[in-house]
Amino acid sequence: MNESLLYRIRPVTRRMRGLRFWQIWAVAALLVGGVGWALHWQAQAGTLDGRAAAYWVGSIAIGIAVTVAVACAFLFRDPRFVARKIEQHFPSLDQRLLTALSQSDNQLGYLQQRIVKEARDHSREFAWVEAVPASRMWIGRLGGLGATAILAGVLGSLAATRPNQTSIAAANVVTASEPVVEPGDVSIERGTSLVVTARFGDSSDSAESVQASDQGELLILDKDGQQRVLPMTQSLDDPILGGYIGSVDQPVSYQVRTPYWTSPEYKIDVFDFPAMKRSDADLVYPDYTGMEPKHIEDAVRVSAVVGTDLTWHLRLNKPVSKAELVDEDGNRTPLEFDADQPDVGHASFAIADTRRYELQLVDDDGRSNKFPPKLVVRALPNLPPKLKVTPASDTEVSALEEFPLQVELVDDFGVGQVGLVYSLSGGEPSEIILGHDLPRGAKTNIEQLVAMEDLQAEPDQLLAYHFFATDVDPEGKQRRTESDMYFAEVRPFDQIFRQGDPPPGGEPSPPSPQAAEAEELAELQKQIIAATWRVVRGITSNKGDDALAEPIDLLIESQGEAMEKLDELAEEIRDPASQAFITEVRESMSAALAELTSAKASSNRRGLATAVPHQQAAYGGLLKLRAREFEVSRSKQQPSQGQSSASQKKRQQQLDDLELEEDENRYETQSQAQPASAEEQAAREVRQTLSRLRELARRQEDINKELAQLQTALEDAKTEQEREAVERQLERLRDQQVDLLRETDELDQSMGQPESEMAGSEAQADLQSTRDDVQQAAKALEEQDVAQALASGKRAERQFEELRDEFRQSAAGQFSDAMREMRNAAQELDQRQQELQEQLSDRQAAEQRSGSLGDTGLRGESADGGVEAQLAEQRESLGELLDQMQETVTEAEEAEPLLAQGLYDSYRKASQRGIDRKLAEASALSGQGMKPEAAQAARQAGEGVKQLREELERAADDVLGDETQALQRALSELEKIDQQLQNELNDNRPAGSPPGDASQGAPSSQPDPNSPAGASPGESPAASPGQPQGTPAEGGQGQSPSQSRDPAQNPSQGEGEGERQGQGQPQGEGQGQSPASQSGEGGGPSPGQPSDGDSQNQPSGSPPPGGAGSTAGQPQPGSAQPGSAQPGSAQPGASASPIGGFGGRAANAPLTGDGYREWSDSLREIEEMVDDPDVRSQAARIRDRAREIRIDFRRNSKEPEWDLVDEMVATPLRELKRNVSEELIRRSADKNAIVPIDRDPVPREFSDAVRLYYERIGSGQ
């Protein structure tokens, strides 16, 4: 830009900046002056120092002026903007100035120089500063200076202002004598409590203040004109009166009155947070389901098939301004409201997947719902039919056999057709329709007898078969589901088995190489057939071609590998007939490979099914290469995995039926724990359902009993207060009935899951009918129709009991550490809360007896501080328990949905009860010296803690089972093993000792006669930690009675002492066993210690110490050797023979006889039954000591020191029995407590007096 032109423009810029400064400053000065004028009135009232206020306001004004000046100095920095202003004021420039400014100073041409010269000449001719008129400049300056003068006047007046004497006197009067009532006018939630305090002046010259703070009362006036008067007490020595309003359910007004002063009237307004009162659901199912639309009342959990149209109808407690359903991903679905029902919202959508919605509400005052309810929508997929084929494995049949087949099928929405497809040796498949139009959810068993003779089957042919079923897919089209393909090999009639000599070393003899290769090739071909069939099933399931390309490549590779192995086998075989069979097999494999290659190359993958018959023909040809004669021998060891061929596995049952001359190996082999089978999972599901039904039936029964009592009380009520009390009880029962309805929905949803065995069953339909009765009872309670509620409740109770009886097969739940910890924490929390309530009640009673409320002194303050600290600890413990519940809910959401929902309901109820708030109120009231109100708040918190404990105990019972029954079983087992040990002690006590010495002084461990009788032991012993399941527990002393009843156990049990009585066995047969089966007492020896009963180091033919390897001369059970006593008749002081068994010792003696293992397993089972860690450790110590005595006896053939046995085992065992008995009595005390019949309960206000009365009677006062 041209510098000469910029020089002529700068004066215009300065005038524009100055004008803008005066304009902004005028506005700012007026605003600051207004603030100073407002402070002027406060300075006059004496609440503000005028001089200090003037100083600060002036400082702020100066700062604003400096800021404005600096800011204006940076305005209008663009010369073109100023040039445009000049051009607007002087049109004669005709854009010359802007054009000249746009030119560069370098190499100006003639025309550019002329334009610049004309612009300069114009500036000399005209005053460009007139672009900003002088009049505007004068007006701006006058405005700014005038505002400055006003500001200065205001600041001077403010600095000179002094407080008015009248205002000072009035303020002093209020401060000195006017009490301050808190909270004054307030708005609180309906049903909450309120503490009202009045703080009086503490000046010593105000006698009225001191007297007024000694006593007072709280006058409450409701909208109906009724008055209530509550006492107000002084908090310690402070001039504060406090009153407590327990529950405010409607708008009221209140006043604080003393003998010398009455406060103004204050108002308490109540409000309700928006909340959902009820939720109904309408379900419109897809057409293919054939199900009628369904309306579910009062439901928060809904299960329906994918594609169902769901409409929620949510009834709120009041109209709201905003209502939305928010899912887990944050998607919001607003509710629609009708004009005639503004408190009922509707939301409709199609069910596509499982969702959890949270209802968020906002009312007209901006309040949100405190506890947003959860609405759960579970999407049930339209699964294909489930086909369960029996037998579900390949088998061998004869050519004349009638082969029975069975299929069990079930579908969620019915089966159109079910049939059987079979083919013989690669021939054309035949299809048989077995059923039509099977109903939904019904489990149907269909049997079909395949006559192999009618099929003209020949030996070494292959029968391939599978079942199919058709149903309707989610799109309404027919869907065909096929089972796995199974094979039945037609075995020849002339199979010969000869017994051969066992190979040296006990190892099984391997088959011939050609036979092994043929068997492996046949097994490979069968796997190829199964894999091809799975790919074909994938095609029929409408999978994409891309997903099937890789499996087809693998099939081609596998078939080619099979052909290579066939060629290798052909080179080793010289038999002409076998060569002909191999040629047929090669042709079939080649045809199958060609079909696979063609299917891969063509776009139509459905042609892959044509390869299956060729593969079956190849497999049938391989069957003809099987051997017809077999030489077998019994091995002392099981063949390894690599040694077992496919044909040996198939013929295992035939080999087991052969009668070979060699004795079977009786040594136990190690067994491993197997994963839970489908049957076990189904049994566990039934147990959970049974437990839930039992609980629902019991709770419905309790509700019905209370309803019957309230119905009578409602008829007998004469006053309005009595009717209101009964109605409050009915409202409480209605909440309990709604909770029962929620849990019924959870059970119905669990039974209706697709993977559940009970989905669509008759039991689920009965449960839905029961649910309707429960809902009708809840609805009748809401309408206060007690008779209808009682009738519906009775029907629901009866149906629950019927369902419970149908499912009564077992009643055991699986243990959960988390539930046990939460249950114990809740019990401890409840116990501490009861102790705190007693402390508060005792101090209140002590103060009432002393008649002094203010004379507490330091001791009272210290005690109150201790109570406050304990209440704070209670709040912390409660928070930790609720956090643990929330974590457990999150972790158990998928694995245990019933447990998660139950814990979530308990967590939600605990939050709604306001236990934490009640504890905080009790702590605050106790700190202010308001003992009665603090005790009342603590009692209310105690009720909430008690309900939380009961809910957690019920949830724990669902998972852990009834703890009382476990203790009863443990006590019964303790009685039995204690009696066994006492019998052995009495039989072996030295001569001259008192026969009852071992049991003297043992207290009776029988529980109270009112307690339930102990259940007989019926559960299998659980393995102790560190011991694999199925391993012999203590030295392998034969099978225990419980184990011998299990047909799944190995026929040979135990080692060392583990051989069966009366049977001798060579000593060296046990040397191939694993260490787990050779371990002594406790599942294994310690390092450096020889295994108990180990015979590896014993010379062949010589038995080890302890009679582990007794010969055939060992006495048989039930018979006696000459010179030996019968079992059970051993004379005192008689010692057992160290070799050749236990001689005259009792066979079932727990320490020195054959009954040790059963005795030790019983003690281990007791250890698993109880939850108390002290009792568990005590049982473990007893078992360890008994094991040491047993090891010492067997290793050294030394008679135990029976006095030491009595001291180390028998006495602790009696103590353990006493501890378990006391724990059983304590836990069953509440259930078996004797209560009066036909007697009214003690009113709450007299409960403390009655308790003190009985305490005095018990103390002899």
The number of beta carbons lying within 10 Å of the beta carbon of residue 192 is: 15
Counting residues of the chain whose pLDDT is more than 90, the rounded percentage is 6
Is residue 281 scored above 90 in pLDDT?
yes
Q: What is the pLDDT of residue 324?
A: 93
**φ/ψ (deg, to 5) at 1155:** -90, 10
> pLDDT by residue (tens digit) across 1133-1174?
333 333 333 344 555 788 888 788 788 878 877 877 777 778
- Which H or E run includes 87? helix 79-89
Is residue 213 scored above 80 in pLDDT?
no
Calculate the average pLDDT of the chain: 73
> pLDDT by residue (tens digit) across 30-41?
898 888 888 877
Q: What is the pLDDT of residue 959?
A: 61
Q: What is the pLDDT of residue 518?
A: 74
More confident residue, 361 or 1228: 361
Cβ neighbours of residue 70 under 8 Å, at least 6 residues apart? none
Is residue 1175 scored above 80 in pLDDT?
yes
Angle between helices 50-73 and 134-160 (to 10 degrees): 160
Q: Which residues pair with 242 in a beta bridge?
A: 197, 233
pLDDT band (50, 70, 90) for residue 1081:
very low
More confident residue, 75 or 345: 345
Q: What is the pLDDT of residue 892?
A: 66
The number of beta carbons lying within 10 Å of the beta carbon of residue 500 is: 12
Is residue 1017 scored above 70 in pLDDT?
no
Residues 870-893 as b or e (16 or more Cβ within 10 Å = b)? bbeebbebbeebbebbeebbeebe
319-331 mean pLDDT? 91
Q: What is the pLDDT of residue 499?
A: 60
The region of weakest confidence among 366-370, 829-833, 1103-1107 is 1103-1107
Query: Can you read off the two tokens belonging to residue 802?
Result: 């019927």
1192-1220 mean pLDDT? 85
Dist. CA 226–CA 82, nearest whole Å: 79
Dist. CA 299–CA 28, nearest whole Å: 63
Q: What is the pLDDT of residue 389?
A: 87
Q: What is the pLDDT of residue 1107?
A: 36
pLDDT band (50, 70, 90) for residue 487:
confident
Q: How far apart are the first and last CA of the chain?
A: 114
pLDDT band (50, 70, 90) for residue 125:
confident
Is residue 1013 scored above 70 in pLDDT?
no
Q: What is the pLDDT of residue 495?
A: 63
851-860 mean pLDDT? 44
* Cβ pair 416, 471 in contact under 8 A: yes
836-851 mean pLDDT? 75
Is residue 21 scored above 90 in pLDDT?
no
Is residue 273 scored above 60 in pLDDT?
yes
Q: What is the pLDDT of residue 675?
A: 55
> pLDDT by residue (tens digit) across 141-163?
888 888 889 988 888 888 888 76
* β-pair type (395-397, 486-490): parallel
pLDDT band (50, 70, 90) for residue 513:
low
Q: What is the pLDDT of residue 852?
A: 46
Is residue 937 scored above 90 in pLDDT?
no
pLDDT band (50, 70, 90) for residue 337:
very high
Q: What is the pLDDT of residue 344?
A: 92
> pLDDT by residue (tens digit) across 630-655?
555 555 444 444 444 444 555 555 55
More confident residue, 1122 or 82: 82
Is residue 873 scored above 70 in pLDDT?
yes
More confident residue, 1051 or 963: 963
> pLDDT by residue (tens digit) across 1230-1253?
555 454 444 456 676 777 788 788
Is residue 251 scored above 60 in pLDDT?
yes
Query: Can you read off the two tokens belonging to residue 769?
Result: 């009918």
1211-1219 mean pLDDT? 90
Q: What is the pLDDT of residue 814?
A: 39
Q: What is the pLDDT of residue 1084?
A: 37
Q: What is the pLDDT of residue 73?
A: 81
> pLDDT by residue (tens digit) across 781-805?
888 888 888 888 888 888 888 887 7
pLDDT band (50, 70, 90) for residue 928:
confident
More confident residue, 506 or 435: 435
pLDDT band (50, 70, 90) for residue 472:
confident
pLDDT band (50, 70, 90) for residue 459:
confident
Q: What is the pLDDT of residue 753?
A: 67
* Cβ pair 1227, 964 in contact under 8 A: yes
Is residue 354 scored above 80 in pLDDT?
yes
Q: What is the pLDDT of residue 345?
A: 93
Q: What is the pLDDT of residue 1020?
A: 37
Q: What is the pLDDT of residue 1151?
A: 82
The region of weakest confidence among 33-47, 725-739, 843-857, 1114-1128 is 1114-1128
Residue 734's alpha-carbon distances to 109, 268, 801, 1164, in angstroms, are 100, 29, 21, 47
Is residue 707 scored above 60 in pLDDT?
yes
> pLDDT by residue (tens digit) across 164-184?
655 554 444 444 457 888 888
485-495 mean pLDDT? 79
Nearest to 1128 by CA among 1112, 1113, 1152, 1145: 1145
Cβ neighbours of residue 983 under 8 Å, at least 6 residues apart? 1146, 1149
Best-predicted range by mean pLDDT (352-356, 625-629, 670-674, 1083-1087): 352-356
The region of weakest confidence among 93-107, 288-302, 671-685, 1193-1207 is 671-685
Nearest to 314 by CA among 381, 380, 372, 383: 372
DSSP tally for the chain: helices H, then strands E: 31, 29
Query: Can you read off the two tokens belonging to residue 589?
Result: 């494999």
Is residue 1074 scored above 60 in pLDDT?
no
Q: What is the pLDDT of residue 969?
A: 83
More confident residue, 990 or 1102: 990
Best-predicted range by mean pLDDT (682-691, 782-791, 1075-1084, 1121-1130): 782-791
Dist. CA 311–CA 839, nearest whole Å: 54
More confident residue, 574 or 1106: 574
Q: What is the pLDDT of residue 362?
A: 93
Angle between helices 931-960 and 897-913 (to 10 degrees): 180
Nearest to 66 by CA among 107, 34, 96, 21: 21
